[in-house]
């Protein structure tokens, strides 16, 4: 029986078919309309509303053209995530790991070292830390202007204005009113094309010394290299290229393994400080995140920093990069599970299993290094000579460098656990050799009893042992924050008032009204 015959015999069948057809046509219409609407929305979103000037440092101005990216960037204010070992919360690392006070005795890190917060706090945190001192009334900061380099998009603006070496010159407080806007858009993007770009000279110069042209990097490589502008090992070279200027330099000429960087520093006889107790010439690792990441399986598979720390997300018909730069462990669904099909619980278990093993051994190296410094101090007190201690000090230098290479590269225990375990293992071996040499020196001096070790088991006890006067340092810093920083903000507001102003600025706050969140450490 044909359809026509069926409809003639049963008219209700015809009505059913008619209504079904109408429904399908309606749904197709809605679907087509949605696609057109989303594409229109997408084209409008990507259409610039204002012209952004070259090296515009104000992130809120970029936010007019790119509201989704800006809004997610502002979420780096969040301090509510704490993983098993890190996260975005402010953590007093000296309180968590008192051994650090002894390892950094004689260096500013022994006074104050907190877990880094999000990029939003970059400028605020460097003002607040005790490490930059309390420069006022003619007293200089112990840090040079070079220390501002990775804190703000005001840095490339100022470098263009006065020159690179000129920016690095002088004391930290001299750029206080210039460096106002925290890490943001102009640090990594071209204002016309929004393509990723390198704004810090040190990375370009390091590539050039290795015969590499960074301008030929692919977009995917740039999604890691823009991070490598700052998340790297570096030092201040006061000899080159301009005598007397602490020029920011990456020690990559021999390579980026712990041993290759160590050899570089040994060859130029560089040290960050002389250890207060052992007198060892110490290399203080900064944050060799890029160096250790290049030893990871993710790097070998072509995964970039942004893939996990800034994964893509969709909103309406728009796909964009999430600029809430954070631990992937706080966003497993959009980072890890894009590639890994395991449950969130299994992923966390795997991550922490690797980190537990690495950090256990790193902790053992910390314990040994603390004893080594204290035993070396005891040997000096017993009358040891520089000739007797020469090999001991070199061993301490190398062992502590390897510990710091593993510790200061935040995330290295996850990124490259096999390489970090190897580095820590060699550190333990070298530190134990140093202890045996100290014992030999003491035997030569006629001391054969057990070496006394003071109680430095808490931050307070350790800082008291090395003579850190924390109440005095905090009082000085508070006075600096209350009197000097407001003047910096007033000067900055006057300068920025002469820049182009936009009625549509997103969440912009006058600099003078910026709320200073004096670090909680000051109120402890």
Per-residue pLDDT tens for 368-389?
999 999 999 999 999 999 999 9
What confidence score (pLDDT) does residue 18 get? 78
What confidence score (pLDDT) does residue 426 get? 98
DSSP for 7-44 reads HHH-HHHHHHHHHHHHHHHHHHHHHHHHHHHHHHHHHH
Length of the chain counted residue by residue: 524
- On whether residue 271 sits in a domain, the answer given is yes
The answer to whether the beta carbons of residues 70 and 505 sit under 8 Å apart is: no
- On whether residue 417 sits in a domain, the answer given is yes
CATH number of the domain within which 364 lies = 1.10.1130.10
Please say if the pLDDT value at position 63 is more than 50.
yes
Residue 211's region, left for phi above 0, alpha for psi from -120 to 50, else beta, is left
Cβ-proximal residues to 84 (8 Å cutoff; 6+ apart), any chain? 352, 355
Give the Å distances, CA to CA, from 345 to 84, 86, 353, 359. Answer: 14, 18, 12, 21
What confidence score (pLDDT) does residue 61 get? 96
Q: What is the mean pLDDT of residues 449-459?
A: 97
3-state secondary structure of 149: coil
- The H-or-E segment that residue 500 falls in is none
Q: Are residues 122 and 265 in the same domain?
A: yes
- On whether residue 121 sits in a domain, the answer given is yes
Q: Are residues 14 and 133 in the same domain?
A: no
Please say if the pLDDT value at position 477 is more than 50.
yes
Cβ-proximal residues to 11 (8 Å cutoff; 6+ apart), any chain? none
Burial status of residue 273 (CB atoms within 10 A of its CB: 0-12, 13-18, 19 or more):
middle
% of the chain exceeding 70 in pLDDT: 93
- On whether residue 352 sits in a domain, the answer given is yes
Q: Which residue has the higher pLDDT, 506 or 206?
A: 206
What confidence score (pLDDT) does residue 521 get? 44
What confidence score (pLDDT) does residue 509 get? 52
Q: Are residues 15 and 78 in the same domain?
A: no
Query: How many C-beta neighbours within 10 Å does residue 491 have?
Result: 16
Q: Are residues 13 and 137 in the same domain?
A: no
Q: What are phi and psi of 237, to 5 degrees?
A: -95, 105
Q: Which residue has the higher pLDDT, 123 or 35?
A: 123
* Rounded CA separation 366/99 (Å): 7
- The H-or-E segment that residue 312 falls in is strand 312-315
* Rounded CA separation 304/314 (Å): 19
**CA 229, 232, 235: angle at the middle one, nearest 5?**
100
Q: Are residues 99 and 222 in the same domain?
A: yes
Radius of gyration of the chain (CA): 28
**Six token digits for residue 30:** 């809605």
Q: Are residues 6 and 132 in the same domain?
A: no
Cβ-proximal residues to 56 (8 Å cutoff; 6+ apart), any chain? 62, 153, 185, 186, 191, 499
- On whether residue 335 sits in a domain, the answer given is no
Q: Which residue has the higher pLDDT, 420 or 45?
A: 420
Q: What are phi and psi of 460, to 5 degrees?
A: -65, -45
Q: Are residues 8 and 79 in the same domain?
A: no
- Per-residue pLDDT reduced to its tens digit, 83-94: 998 888 889 999
Range of the domain at 4: 1-29
**CA 371, 372, 376: angle at the middle one, nearest 5?**
115
Q: Are residues 121 and 1 in the same domain?
A: no
Q: Are residues 88 and 144 in the same domain?
A: yes
Q: How does residue 39 score in pLDDT terms, banded at 50, 70 and 90? A: low
- On whether residue 226 sits in a domain, the answer given is yes
Q: Are residues 20 and 103 in the same domain?
A: no
Q: What are phi and psi of 313, to 5 degrees?
A: -145, 160
- On whether residue 485 sits in a domain, the answer given is yes
Q: How does residue 19 score in pLDDT terms, banded at 50, 70 and 90? A: confident
**Six token digits for residue 76:** 């780096």
For the chain, how many structural domains are there in total? 2
* Rounded CA separation 344/350 (Å): 10
Q: Are residues 18 and 154 in the same domain?
A: no
Please say if the pLDDT value at position 330 is more than 80.
yes
Please say if the pLDDT value at position 173 is more than 80.
yes
What confidence score (pLDDT) does residue 38 get? 61
In the predicted model, what is the mean pLDDT of the chain? 92
Q: What is the mean pLDDT of residues 333-359?
A: 96
% of the chain exceeding 90 in pLDDT: 82
Q: Which residues pair with 281 in a beta bridge?
A: 274
Query: How many C-beta neighbours within 10 Å does residue 199 have?
Result: 20
- On whether residue 256 sits in a domain, the answer given is yes
* Rounded CA separation 236/249 (Å): 6
Q: What are phi and psi of 308, to 5 degrees?
A: -105, -35
What confidence score (pLDDT) does residue 515 get? 47
Q: How does residue 519 score in pLDDT terms, banded at 50, 70 and 90? A: very low
- Per-residue pLDDT reduced to its tens digit, 129-152: 999 999 999 999 999 999 999 999
What confidence score (pLDDT) does residue 379 get? 98
Please say if the pLDDT value at position 520 is more than 70.
no
What confidence score (pLDDT) does residue 316 get? 80
What confidence score (pLDDT) does residue 234 get? 98
Q: What is the mean pLDDT of residues 77-87?
A: 90
Q: What are phi and psi of 128, to 5 degrees?
A: -75, -30
What confidence score (pLDDT) does residue 501 get? 93
Q: Are residues 291 and 390 in the same domain?
A: yes
């Amino acid at each position: 029986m044909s359809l026509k015959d069926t409809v003639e015999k049963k008219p209700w069948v015809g009505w059913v078919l008619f209504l079904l057809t109408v429904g399908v046509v309606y749904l197709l219409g809605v679907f087509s309309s949605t696609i057109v609407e989303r594409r229109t929305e997408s084209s409008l979103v990507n259409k610039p509303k204002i012209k952004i000037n070259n090296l515009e440092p104000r992130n809120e101005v970029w936010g007019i053209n790119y509201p989704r990216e800006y809004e997610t960037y502002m979420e780096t204010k969040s301090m509510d995530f704490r993983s098993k070992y890190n996260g975005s919360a402010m953590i007093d690392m000296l309180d968590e790991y008192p051994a650090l006070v002894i390892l950094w005795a004689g260096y500013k890190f022994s006074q104050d070292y907190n877990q880094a917060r999000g990029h939003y706090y970059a400028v605020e945190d460097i003002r607040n830390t005790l490490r930059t001192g309390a420069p006022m009334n003619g007293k200089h900061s112990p840090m040079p202007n070079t220390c501002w380099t990775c804190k703000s998009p005001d840095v490339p603006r100022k470098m263009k204005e006065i020159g690179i070496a000129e920016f690095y010159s002088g004391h930290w407080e001299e750029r206080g009113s210039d460096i106002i806007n925290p890490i943001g858009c102009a640090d990594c993007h071209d204002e016309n094309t929004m393509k990723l770009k390198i704004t810090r000279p040190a990375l370009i110069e390091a590539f050039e010394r290795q015969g590499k042209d960074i301008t030929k990097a692919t977009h995917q490589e740039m999604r890691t290299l823009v991070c490598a502008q700052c998340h790297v090992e570096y030092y201040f070279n006061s000899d080159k290229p301009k005598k007397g200027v602490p020029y920011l330099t990456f020690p990559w000429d021999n390579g980026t393994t712990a041993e290759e960087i160590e050899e570089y520093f040994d060859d130029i006889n560089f040290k960050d400080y002389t250890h207060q107790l052992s007198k060892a010439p110490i290399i203080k690792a900064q944050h060799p995140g890029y160096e250790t990441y290049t030893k990871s399986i993710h790097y070998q598979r072509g995964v970039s920093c942004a893939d996990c720390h800034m994964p893509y997300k969709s909103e309406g018909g728009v796909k964009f990069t999430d600029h809430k730069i954070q631990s992937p462990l706080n966003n497993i669904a959009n980072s890890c599970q894009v590639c890994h099909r395991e449950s969130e619980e299994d992923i966390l278990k795997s991550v922490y299993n690797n980190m537990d093993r690495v950090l256990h051994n790193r902790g053992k190296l910390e314990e040994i290094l603390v004893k080594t410094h204290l035993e070396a101090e005891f040997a000096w007190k017993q009358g040891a000579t520089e000739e007797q201690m020469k090999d001991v000090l070199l061993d301490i230098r190398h062992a502590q460098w390897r510990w710091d290479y593993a510790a200061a590269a935040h995330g290295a225990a996850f990124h490259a656990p096999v390489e970090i375990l190897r580095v820590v293992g060699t550190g333990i071996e070298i530190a134990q050799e140093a202890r045996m040499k100290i014992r030999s020196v003491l035997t030569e001096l006629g001391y054969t009893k057990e070496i006394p070790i003071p109680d430095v088991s808490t931050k307070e006890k350790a800082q008291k042992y090395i003579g850190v006067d924390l109440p005095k340092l905090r009082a000085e810093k508070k006075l600096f924050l209350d009197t000097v920083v407001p003047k910096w903000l007033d000067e900055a507001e006057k300068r920025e008032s002469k820049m182009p102003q936009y009625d549509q600025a997103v969440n912009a706050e006058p600099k003078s009204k910026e709320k200073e969140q004096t670090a909680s450490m000051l109120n402890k």
